């Protein structure tokens, strides 16, 4: 990706999508469940770009950053 701000925005959107998925499924929201949902969403998308974004988002959440 050319623009680091765009990449940061996509990571934020991925985390938001994961949280919304957890809310919809009435799953407890904690770091582990968010990381698990991000990994699930990344596998679901799987076209390369989204996959990379979801992996990076999962790494950030798992580190607590």
- Alpha-carbon span 50 to 65, nearest angstrom: 20
Reported as a single tens digit per residue, the pLDDT across 20-55 is 999 999 999 999 999 999 999 988 866 666 688 899
What is the reported pTM? 0.83
Q: Alpha-carbon distance 56 to 28, whole Å?
A: 22
Which sequence spans correspond to the domains of the chain?
A: 4-9+21-63
Contacts of 63 (CB under 8 A, 6+ apart): none
Name residue, tokens 């990449």.
7
Name the pLDDT band for 19 (thresholds 50, 70, 90): very high
């Amino acid at each position: 990706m050319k623009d680091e701000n765009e990449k940061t925005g996509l990571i934020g959107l991925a985390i938001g999508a994961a949280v919304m998925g957890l809310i919809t499924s009435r799953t407890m929201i904690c770091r582990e469940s968010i990381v698990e949902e991000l990994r699930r969403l990344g596998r679901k998308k799987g076209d390369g770009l989204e996959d990379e974004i979801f992996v990076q988002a999962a790494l950030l959440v798992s580190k607590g950053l």
